[in-house]
Chains A and B, each alone.
Chain A
Amino acid sequence: MEEKKEAKNVQNQPHIEVGTSKPCRTCKWQTPDPTDPHRGQCTANRHAMGGVWKRWLRDVENLTCSKHEEGKLSFRDHV
């Protein structure tokens, strides 16, 4: 049971899946790294007060997670 829960949590977090068809690069919650275009930032973690708590993505082509959604957010929804 614990192991299953753990496995589910891993899917919720950005994790390496080499050659994934749902890379962070194409995800609407992703925005590129400020300096290195091969890395990125995940903005999916948002709380009720409007805060956006980013996570760094070290490889936007091969990282994915279960929250992946194709698209692009408006600048208004980013930081």
Chain B
Amino acid sequence: MNQMVSAKVLEYRSKTLNFTPEDPTEAKIPAEELHEHLQKPSTARTKRLKDRCRWKHASAGEFIEKSVTAGIERMRYLTEAHKASVGQPQVIRRALGLANVLNKGTLVLQQDEFIIGYHAEDPNMFPLYPELSHMAVQDYLMSDYSPQPAKEAQEINEYWKPHSLQSKCQPYFDMADLGRMYQVSSMEAPSFASGYNSIVPPYETVLEDGLLARIKLAEKNIVQAQKVMTTFPWNGTTGLDNIDKIDNWKAMIIACKAVIAWARRHARLCRIVAENFETDPKRQAELLEIADICQRIPAEPCKGLKDAMQAKFFTFLICHAIERYASGYAQKEDTLLWPYYKASVIDKKFQPMDHMGAVELVEMERLKISEHGAGKSRAYREIFPGSNDLFILTVGGTKADGSDACNDMTDAILEAAKRIRTAEPSIVFRYSKVNRPQTLRWVFNCVRDGLGYPSIKHDDIGTAQMKEFSQYSLNHNGATDEEAHNWVNVLCMSPGIHGRRKTQKTRSEGGGSIFPAKLLEITLNNGYDWSYADMQLGPKTGELSTLKSFDDVWEAFRKQYQYALNLCISTKDVSRYFEQRFLQMPFVSSIDDGCMELGMDANALSEQPNGWHNPITTIVAANSMVAIKKLVFDEKKYTLEQLNQALMANWEGYEEMRLEFKRAPKWGNDDSYADPIITKFYEDIIGGEMRKITNYSGGPVLPTGQAVGLYMEVGSRTGPTPDGRFGGEAADDGGISPYMGTDKKGPTAVLRSVSKVQKNQKANLLNQRLSVPIMRSQHGFDIWHSYMDTWFDLKIDHVQFNVVSTDELKAAQREPEKHQDLIVRVSGYSARFVDIPTYGQNTIIARQEQDFSASDLEFLNVDI
């Protein structure tokens, strides 16, 4: 068994560097079990909560914990309200649907919890959404996770078929095109077929105003609109607009009142349990305190940190799981909570506590998110293996005046994450050179503990993007220069505005994927997919015999990409067209200042364009292009026909040839042959073609290269490729990460390669795996800090790290039950390693573990 301590020494600037652990006690911990020794819950309560956490991780489309199933209550009460509200305006029907679910749904209160609330009738369940995609619900009905009674669930799904978003949108497309999308091999399925969605809720208005104030605003607006409608002289060209507005405001009022009543049901429940059932006086008092909180908020403004945490969680449940499903946990949590941290921890004015009290609250919040169940379609239970959903919050960065936005709440969030060790929620840190050292140290502590987060985003790049997109605002009310600093990651990678208005409300604005590896494969087969579906998957862009030059291959790929891209974005915009007519979100609208002011539904109003789409598997395609250019067109060692023959045989009988293609220059080595081709591939095709598109919001769509678990799924649906890859092997694991194991020239060569891609990009995910002994040594922070500053100066958008040894990963494969606390970064999210299929685990192990040489340290200008 290897000890954690590395015997490694390095000569650097006339010094001998020894990489012994910063904490000497770690020297006794075997390398194979390091991560089982790192959790330190701040209290006995959070330890108990973690021990009994009802995880709902999914992999390969299946839930890992056997007790997890879909609940029926949400779909039952939504349907009941829909049937009872025939004839009423659609937005009112949506509000009544929400109200019926909240009024009748079973409440869940669990032992030890301080932050309460759940979105299904049982903490092992999750709700379904038949109003979105009947195919997605049907898949559940045919699975082990079907809601019960199954007959009732089937009847509900049949009822929704004609009313669902899927049925509204499908008729506007050719089913042949949609069939290609549904396979998720060259394109992600449209959201109307999967039901997948994301949102950035304007939490700020709930915490700052409270819902009673929002109701008053809506009532005032209705009175004002009615006054306009009765004022002489009547003007029909503008007066009729008030009909929709009045309906929207009325719906907002219904929704807000329902949420307040629901919170107060929780208050009553806590009081009843405290007064009639709870025997522990301490818990009794705590339940009464929770009852007091839920009676006041979210109806009234929050006054302390406990208020804010509870109001935020209720809002999360409504916006992400009850009014409509939406993935994500987007919020600028440190900025959002800072006033309440100050009131409770520093000023001790309300709900007084010390810093560790705040840390405990965050640990409890993390555990609530860890047991949140998402009724995602099968595709999304496949493509985030090892997680329950994509929960990602953002901290750090800069304020509107450019100064450091880090505060003690930032540190509490990071400390809690390090202590409790859960994969969810993931954290994004906006890195700026003005960030204070003590917070950077917490960031590093989380990174080196192998959590895989914070993932790091370049603060200046994100802010500049918000400014750029603002200029396309259709109502000329995009983010101001000051507001451009208010950004968070919407999901894994793409920045978007947070705050009281202008946030992203639906995934039709940003999100969705396109898969260049598969597109490259079918480019070499005239648009035909021989390796997975055995059908025409794209346009006919030319038989091999017509591709006489590298430019011909390049342009044929461009046409395949254009076809797929147009389909991806148009299906999103058609979804949005119908979302605002049939899937209104009156609660979300009520907490957005823009929707409140204008009387508009959140799906309809777009103030800040934020168009993005995810190219995933770009590097397999780009490395393949390099190999084709070198071996087929420059050196003329093989013809395209010979190459295709070898690919069709999955390289069987062509091993020598495969090795030549595998040895062709690869991305991530600062290579003078590969890098210009790949840079052009990103800037000219991947980004250049995408930005020609204008989406619903009036802005361009830009690429946000990443991977989630799609690099595995798409890899398994993609045949052999000219980069030397076998059919079915995983593709590249990040938007711009080198293909696993092919970045052999060290970490700074990777940075130099990646920094070359700058034009027409929104974001690109960079996965790096760093040496455990170096990161855990007394020099670890200095090296990492210098690396980050260099990364910043090179204007690279993103980077994230795995700091975990191959020994430990392999030990966890052998004995998974002993490695429940081993977390890895998969792509835009982290996961428990033992909850990932072996196929995916192997891709993590295969990633190049980067050591630092003296020349790397020199390039980084490490001062040791």
Contact = CB atoms under 8 A, between A and B. Distances in A.
A35 B713 CA distance: 13
A45 B727 CA distance: 10
Interface string B172-187: 0000000001111100
A79 B532 contact: no
A54 B182 contact: no
Contacts of A46: 728
Interface string A33-51: 1111101010101110111
A64 interface: no
Contacts of B838: 50, 76-77
Interface string B695-734: 0000000000000000011011101000000111110000
A55 interface: yes
26 contacts: A32-B142, A32-B143, A33-B183, A34-B379, A34-B383, A35-B181, A35-B377, A37-B135, A37-B138, A45-B728, A49-B726, A51-B727, A51-B729, A51-B730, A52-B728, A52-B839, A53-B531, A53-B719, A53-B726, A55-B532, A55-B534, A75-B60, A75-B61, A76-B59, A76-B838, A79-B712
B533 A79 contact: no
A8 interface: no
A79 B839 contact: yes
Contact of A34 (B64, B184, B650, B715): B184
Contact of B142 (A37, A54, A55): A37
B842 interface: yes
Contacts of B135: 35-37
Interface string A46-77: 11011111111010000000000000000111
A23 to B, nearest CB: 13
Contacts of A78: 59-62, 837, 839
Contacts of B143: 32
A43 B60 CA distance: 11
B378 interface: yes
A58 B533 CA distance: 8
Contact of B729 (A34, A49, A58, A75): A49
Interface string B377-412: 111001100000000000000000000000000000
A-B pairs with the 8 shortest C-beta distances? Answer: A53-B728, A78-B60, A34-B379, A35-B182, A51-B728, A56-B533, A37-B139, A75-B59
A35 B729 contact: no
A53 B716 contact: yes
B194 interface: yes
Interface in B159-206: 181-185, 189, 193-194
Nearest to A73: B60
Contacts of B62: 75, 78
Contacts of A37: 135, 138-139, 142, 378
A37 B141 CA distance: 10
Nearest to B813: A76
B379 to A, nearest CB: 4
Contacts of A43: 716
B840 interface: yes
Contact of B139 (A32, A45, A54, A58): A32
Contacts of B61: 31-32, 34, 75, 78
Interface string A1-37: 0000000000000000000000000000001111111
B184 A35 contact: yes
B837 A77 contact: yes
Interface secondary structure of A, over-half rule:
loop
B807 to A, nearest CB: 19
**Chain B CB within 10 Å, residue with most, of A34, A37, A43, A55:** A34
A51 B62 CA distance: 20
Given A32-B142, A53-B531, 20 more contacts: A33-B182, A33-B183, A35-B136, A35-B182, A36-B182, A37-B135, A37-B138, A39-B182, A41-B717, A46-B728, A50-B842, A51-B716, A54-B717, A54-B728, A75-B837, A77-B838, A78-B59, A79-B712, A79-B715, A79-B839
Nearest to B193: A35
Interface of B: 59-62, 64, 135-136, 138-139, 142-143, 181-185, 189, 193-194, 377-379, 382-383, 531-534, 650, 712-713, 715-717, 719, 726-730, 837-840, 842
Contacts of B727: 45, 51, 53
A43 to B, nearest CB: 8
A33 to B, nearest CB: 7
Contacts of A56: 183, 185, 532-534, 717
Given A35-B135, A35-B184, A75-B62, A47 B840 contact: no
A43 B64 CA distance: 19
A54 B716 contact: yes
Contacts of B183: 33-35, 56
B818 to A, nearest CB: 16
A56 B143 CA distance: 19
Contact of B60 (A36, A51, A79): A79
A76 B650 CA distance: 25
Nearest to A37: B139
A54 B842 CA distance: 17
Given A31-B60, A34-B377, A35-B135, A50 B184 contact: no
A66 B735 CA distance: 40
A76 B385 CA distance: 10
A73 to B, nearest CB: 8
Nearest to B182: A35
A46 B382 CA distance: 18
Contacts of A34: 61, 182-184, 189, 377-379, 382-383, 713
A16 to B, nearest CB: 13
A49 to B, nearest CB: 7
Contacts of B534: 55-56
A52 B726 CA distance: 10
A63 B707 CA distance: 32
Contacts of B533: 56, 58
B530 to A, nearest CB: 11
Contacts of B532: 54-56
A62 to B, nearest CB: 16
Contacts of A49: 726, 729
Contacts of A79: 60, 382, 712-713, 715-716, 837, 839-840
Nearest to B380: A34
A56 to B, nearest CB: 4
Given A52-B728, A79-B712, A35 B60 contact: no
Nearest to B842: A50
Contacts of B382: 34, 79
Contacts of B139: 32, 37
A20 to B, nearest CB: 18
Contacts of A53: 531, 650, 716, 719, 726-728
A39 B379 CA distance: 13
B846 to A, nearest CB: 10
Contacts of A41: 717
Contacts of A32: 61, 139, 142-143, 378
Nearest to B183: A56
A68 B182 CA distance: 25
Given A56-B533, A77-B837, A78-B839, A35 B379 contact: yes
**Chain B CB within 10 Å, residue with most, of A41, A76, A77:** A76
A45 to B, nearest CB: 7
A55 to B, nearest CB: 6
A44 to B, nearest CB: 11
Contact of B64 (A54, A58, A75): A75
A9 to B, nearest CB: 15
Contact of A47 (B379, B713, B726): B726
A41 to B, nearest CB: 8
A54 B712 CA distance: 11
